[in-house]
């Protein structure tokens, strides 16, 4: 394949790659309009109902809600749980989260651009790979436990069992074969499941509680997990402290949360008091608790004390940038990682043109942290407002940070490194500055831009659709997707 390009006033390196979790440029869906208000909605209340013809359905590229599904909603968020019926998801089984979006003035505030959140139970034994497996939660009955009329949290419960999840099943068979063993199809674990989806008033964050009960006469050791299909037009980001592999699959470890944004909508997921790892299994973004690899959930024989267990996950939505979903997620779940409580510190900033000081709207501002592998990795992110400003409370772990900012058509900005007031991570001789005081303020100037002309062809001189990664200072600063192999 040949690559032909000409750079104008550009210091970026052009790389064509086929790997990575980065998303497309933000898709603001200019033709989308908010629908009618939710008829049951009231400020400060949450509700759970079966969707009937009186309830407006979400619209957008990934909306699948229909009558007979279940909705949990309040004046900040709406979540759709797929009802019993013909499958509409890659996951295949009912009873999972299939639509999620922010609400404003009791109406859907953004187009629906989240696909689905699957739930799993598994078994991992590195000394017996053929006996390992990962099976999906198969919802079999759904009920409203609390409709929210009492002013409390709205609760929908899905009861079910474990079943073959086709993608994970086949990929594990392939991966274990490549590792030198032969794995048969998995069998039921002999466990009873139910999932509670809980939406409290005055919060856009959904709590997901997965409960397990042993139905057999012998003890069981299991692990739990989840997976997400984020919308194709969204930008998926997460911090990871180190990376490795598990049964031939990449594994990104010590992840506090994962978040995706389309610019006009955001979605974030975290576990409670876990050591979350993220893997990619045939395009599925899978979440596992690494603590369970060595210390799985242990269920005593049925009828004995300790024959049940449960884990808690959180899912939140926002109206705009990554931070709009991360902030409520961490407010509801301040301890996503075992042994640590998140400290939130206020930051503000303004993005402006270095030539005339005019404000720059739509700039992406990333707060990055250096991981154990020495890589600078996204931790939280904003989009500048029409007046160029951004503001919020971001997680501070006492580690070195920097800011990266970008706007299409302009050179990127990378700040000097700093600490946000918490000095516990500073080593002797550290040159990074320490930002003290109530609020850290970041003035960010972006210079005038340039252009890249690209022409990407195969060995037969045919133009190819492509993904282009732009690198600066050893890090990917832009991911661009083109359906045509040439352009400006």
| pLDDT (tens digit per residue) in 33-59 | 888 899 999 999 999 999 999 999 999
Q: Both ends of the chain: CA-CA distance in Å?
A: 19
Lowest mean pLDDT, pick from 40-44, 234-238, 335-339, 420-424: 420-424
Half-sphere exposure of 101 (CA within 13 A, CB side): 31
- Domain region containing 400: 343-446
The answer to the question of residue 431 being in a domain is yes
- Domain-ending residue, one of 302, 332, 362: 332
Provide the 8-state DSSP code for 337: B
**What's CA 306's distance to the chain center, in Å?**
32
pLDDT at position 118 is: 94
The answer to the question of residue 129 being in a domain is yes
| pLDDT (tens digit per residue) in 109-125 | 999 999 999 999 988 77
| pLDDT (tens digit per residue) in 12-36 | 222 222 223 333 344 445 577 888 8
Query: What is the CATH number for 360?
Result: 2.60.130.10
Q: Does residue 95 have a pLDDT over 90? A: yes
User: 313 and 371, same structural domain?
Assistant: no
Counted domains in the chain: 3
User: 298 and 168, same structural domain?
Assistant: yes
- Domain-ending residue, one of 308, 332, 356: 332
Q: Does residue 67 have a pLDDT over 70? A: yes
**What's CA 65's distance to the chain center, in Å?**
21
Query: What is the CATH number for 209?
Result: 2.70.98
Share of the chain above pLDDT 70, in %: 87
The answer to the question of residue 55 being in a domain is no
pTM: 0.84
Contact 131, 233 (CB under 8 A): no
| pLDDT (tens digit per residue) in 455-488 | 888 888 888 888 888 887 677 777 888 777 777 6
């Amino acid at each position: 394949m040949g690559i032909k390009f000409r750079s104008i006033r550009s210091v970026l390196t052009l790389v064509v790659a086929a790997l990575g979790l980065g998303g497309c440029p933000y898709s603001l869906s200019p033709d989308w309009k908010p629908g009618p208000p939710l008829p049951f909605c009231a400020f400060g209340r949450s509700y759970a109902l079966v969707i009937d013809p009186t309830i407006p359905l979400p619209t957008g590229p990934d909306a699948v809600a229909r009558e007979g599904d279940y909705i949990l909603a309040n004046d900040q968020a709406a979540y759709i749980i797929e009802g019993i019926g013909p499958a509409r998801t890659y996951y295949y089984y009912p009873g999972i989260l299939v639509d999620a979006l922010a609400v404003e003035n009791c109406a859907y505030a953004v187009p629906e651009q989240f696909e689905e959140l699957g739930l799993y139970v598994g078994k991992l034994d590195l000394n017996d790979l053929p006996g390992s497996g990962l099976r999906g939660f198969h919802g079999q009955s759904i009920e409203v436990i609390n409709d929210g009329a009492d002013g409390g949290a709205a609760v929908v419960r899905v009861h079910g069992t474990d079943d073959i999840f086709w993608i994970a099943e086949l990929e594990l068979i392939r991966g274990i074969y490549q590792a030198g063993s032969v794995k048969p199809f998995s069998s039921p674990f002999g466990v009873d499941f139910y999932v509670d989806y809980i939406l409290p008033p005055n919060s856009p964050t959904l709590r997901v509680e997965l409960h397990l009960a042993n139905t057999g006469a012998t003890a069981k050791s299991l692990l739990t997990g989840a997976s997400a299909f984020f919308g194709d037009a969204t930008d998926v980001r997460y911090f990871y402290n180190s990376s490795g592999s598990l049964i031939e699959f990449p594994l990104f470890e010590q992840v506090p949360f994962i978040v995706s944004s389309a610019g006009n909508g955001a979605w974030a997921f975290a576990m409670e008091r876990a050591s979350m790892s993220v893997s990619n299994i045939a395009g599925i973004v899978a979440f596992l608790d690494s603590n369970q690899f060595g210390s799985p959930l242990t269920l005593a024989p049925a009828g004995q004390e300790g024959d049940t267990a449960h884990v808690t996950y959180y899912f939140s939505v926002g109206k705009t940038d990554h931070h709009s979903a991360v902030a409520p997620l961490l407010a509801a779940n301040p301890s996503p990682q075992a042994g640590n409580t998140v400290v939130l510190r206020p930051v503000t900033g303004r993005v402006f043109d270095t030539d005339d000081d005019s404000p720059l709207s739509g700039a992406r501002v990333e707060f990055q942290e250096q991981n154990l592998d020495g890589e600078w990795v996204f931790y939280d992110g904003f989009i500048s407002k029409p007046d160029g400003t951004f503001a919020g409370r971001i997680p501070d772990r006492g580690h070195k940070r920097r800011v990266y900012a970008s706007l299409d058509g302009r050179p990127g900005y990378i700040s000097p490194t700093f600490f946000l007031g918490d000095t516990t991570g500073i080593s002797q001789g550290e040159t990074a500055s320490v930002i003290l005081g109530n609020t850290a303020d970041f003035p960010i100037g972006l210079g005038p831009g340039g252009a890249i002309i690209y022409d990407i062809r195969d060995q037969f001189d045919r133009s190819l659709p492509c993904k282009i990664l732009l690198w600066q200072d050893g890090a990917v600063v832009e991911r661009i997707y083109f359906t045509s192999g040439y352009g400006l």
